[in-house]
């Protein structure tokens, strides 16, 4: 009778798909209407399709590199949870074969991923305060003012008008939501968040429907004839293409951000049952395809709502263009608030695991053991195992195995050092989770605008982590001068 592995895989196609969708679809959706307004309706669609295909290619690059740099035993059994990590894939690329350079690249990737995840936590907390804190605080303030005299009421109003930044009540409301979400951040895997991710994606879909409806009402309803700047056909013809190259380059980074899910791709792959290349490719294709069509629908319809805006162009946050007393958009804002709150654990868990791998003392010792003379026989045995049809049949095509470089095999078991999150004590994991989550929440209390947070990471960092480094690692792992450049670019895209 077969014994169940101590650390089994529990991920399904559904849980894996919604984990990636919940990572991609979130607050970044609000900026897409402005990106389509700047890049043009038709031009924006072309840019988004290009970015989507590039994101899919870079994600598959990570998967392929993770397969060839994972210990053969874990790949062949495919029962125990995998150990692949973003920094492990990139740092073991033959391009970085120098040990000092490999270590530098490893910790550089870890630092960038932590910055992206933690800034995402802070940004989402700021959005929670803006979406839920402001309306609720205004409602509470209005109820309190009803019991005051007219003189004291007018004085309080004048004080409120001179306040700058978030109020104490708004931050308390945001922190209350953080308290409710905190238990979810204590979970160890993304698979356990399957139902949470499904509910979050459903809610953001409702928001998209609300934006599409308001745009159609704006451009086609007779009730909005006096509000429209011009006819729909005239407005659309002026919005097909970007008005200048500056507008194009300004919009391009906005299209890249919503596809940033690379820090959760390998954790999802590690947890997926029967994690063949075809199964994970199905997950990635479905997630990127759904996100692409959702972004096109929301982005195009949201940009066309600019016809009912006095300036002729929507704001960087599309929700700012709607009145506070709009009941339909109030429902949409509530849906987005739920989505962002439920997406916080999906940002906290990978950030925690990356920091635990970074702080692990096993990294240097594991590398030393792998490079020691007593392991030379095992190294030869591990190298020869890649010449057998094991990986060929289960995961990779013949071309991929043939182009696998010898230098990448020397660090094939480096993924074993990416397991400190599993070996750590519960108290350590709990304290680190609280420090990450609540540290970000308290820092969000003093941030006035979410744009400050997004500028912290910057578009260059996102494009480097999401698109550049995965492709460089793939080319470095798989390039073979005898096979030619044609094979490499075929596999990359």
Q: In a 3-state reduction of DSSP, which class is residue 482?
A: coil
CA-based nearest residue to 35, from 24, 19, 50, 47: 47
- Say if residues 392 and 398 touch (Cβ distance below 8 Å): yes
Residue 137 has pLDDT above 50, yes or no: yes
Residue 143 confidence (pLDDT): 55
Q: CB within 8 A of 348, min separation 6: which ones?
A: 117, 121, 185, 433, 436, 437
Average of pLDDT values for 64-90? 66
Using CA atoms in the order 327, 330, 334, 339, what is the torsion angle rounded to 10 degrees? 120
Residue 68 confidence (pLDDT): 74
Residue 204 confidence (pLDDT): 92
Residue 168 confidence (pLDDT): 85
- Say if residues 350 and 264 touch (Cβ distance below 8 Å): yes
Residue 309 has pLDDT above 80, yes or no: yes
Structure tokens at 315: 């704001």
Give residue-wise pLDDT tens across range 219-267.
888 888 888 888 888 888 888 888 888 888 888 888 888 888 888 898 8
Residue 46 confidence (pLDDT): 93
Task: Output the average pLDDT for the chain.
Answer: 77
Give residue-wise pLDDT tens across range 348-357.
999 999 999 8
| pLDDT band of 322, cuts 50, 70, 90 | confident
Residue 9 confidence (pLDDT): 75
| pLDDT band of 70, cuts 50, 70, 90 | low
| pLDDT band of 486, cuts 50, 70, 90 | very low
Average of pLDDT values for 262-273? 88
Q: CB within 8 A of 413, min separation 6: which ones?
A: 71, 366, 370, 382
Residue 452 confidence (pLDDT): 72
Percent of the chain with pLDDT over 70: 74
| pLDDT band of 377, cuts 50, 70, 90 | very low
Q: How far apart are CA 71 and CA 179, in angstroms?
A: 40
Residue 381 has pLDDT above 90, yes or no: no
pTM of the model: 0.79
CA-based nearest residue to 159, from 139, 140, 141: 141
Inter-helix orientation angle 485-492/41-68, to 10°: 110
């Amino acid at each position: 009778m077969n014994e169940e592995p101590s650390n089994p895989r529990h991920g399904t196609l559904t849980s894996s798909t919604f984990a990636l969708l919940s990572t991609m679809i979130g607050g970044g959706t609000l900026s897409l209407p402005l990106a389509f307004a700047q890049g043009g309706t038709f031009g924006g669609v072309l840019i988004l399709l290009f970015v989507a295909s590039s994101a899919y290619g870079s994600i598959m690059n990570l998967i392929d590199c993770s397969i060839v740099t994972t210990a053969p035993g874990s790949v062949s059994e495919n029962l125990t949870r995998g150990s692949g990590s973003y920094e492990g894939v990139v740092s073991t690329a033959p391009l970085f074969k120098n040990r000092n350079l490999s270590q530098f690249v490893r910790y550089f990737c870890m630092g960038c991923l932590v910055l992206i995840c933690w800034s995402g936590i802070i940004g989402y907390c700021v959005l929670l305060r803006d979406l839920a804190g402001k309306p609720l605080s205004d409602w509470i303030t209005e109820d309190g003012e009803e019991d005051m005299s007219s003189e004291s009421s007018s004085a309080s109003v004048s004080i409120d008008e001179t306040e700058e930044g978030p109020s104490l009540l708004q931050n308390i409301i945001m922190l209350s939501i953080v308290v409710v979400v905190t238990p979810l951040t204590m979970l160890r895997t993304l698979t356990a968040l399957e139902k949470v991710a499904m509910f979050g994606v459903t809610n953001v879909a409702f928001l998209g429907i609300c934006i599409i409806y308001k745009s159609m009402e704006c451009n086609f309803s007779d009730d909005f004839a006096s509000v429209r700047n011009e006819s729909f056909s005239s407005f659309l013809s002026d919005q097909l293409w970007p008005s200048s190259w500056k507008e194009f380059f300004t919009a391009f980074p906005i299209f890249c951000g919503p596809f940033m899910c690379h820090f959760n791709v390998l954790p999802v792959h590690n947890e997926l049952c029967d994690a063949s290349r075809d199964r994970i490719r199905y997950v990635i294709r479905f997630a990127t395809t759904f996100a692409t069509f959702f972004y096109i629908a929301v982005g195009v319809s949201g940009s066309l709502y600019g016809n009912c805006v006095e300036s002729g162009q929507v704001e960087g946050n599309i929700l700012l263009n709607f009145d506070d007393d709009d009941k339909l958009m109030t429902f949409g804002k509530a849906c987005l608030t739920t989505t962002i709150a439920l997406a916080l654990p999906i940002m906290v868990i990978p950030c925690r695991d990356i920091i635990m791998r970074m702080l692990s003392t096993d990294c240097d010792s594991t590398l030393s053991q792998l490079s020691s003379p007593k392991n030379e026989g095992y190294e030869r045995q591990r190298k020869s195992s890649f010449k057998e049809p094991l990986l060929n049949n289960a995961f990779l095509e013949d071309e991929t195995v043939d182009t696998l470089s010898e230098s990448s095999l020397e660090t094939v078991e480096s993924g074993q050092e990416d397991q400190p999150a599993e070996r750590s004590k519960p108290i350590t994991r709990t304290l680190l989770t609280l420090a990450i989550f609540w540290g970000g929440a308290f820092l969000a209390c003093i941030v006035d605008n979410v744009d400050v947070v997004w500028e912290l990471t910057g578009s260059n960092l996102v494009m480097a982590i999401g698109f550049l480094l995965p492709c460089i690692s793939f080319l470095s792992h798989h390039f073979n001068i005898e096979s030619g450049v044609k094979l490499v670019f075929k596999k990359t895209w």
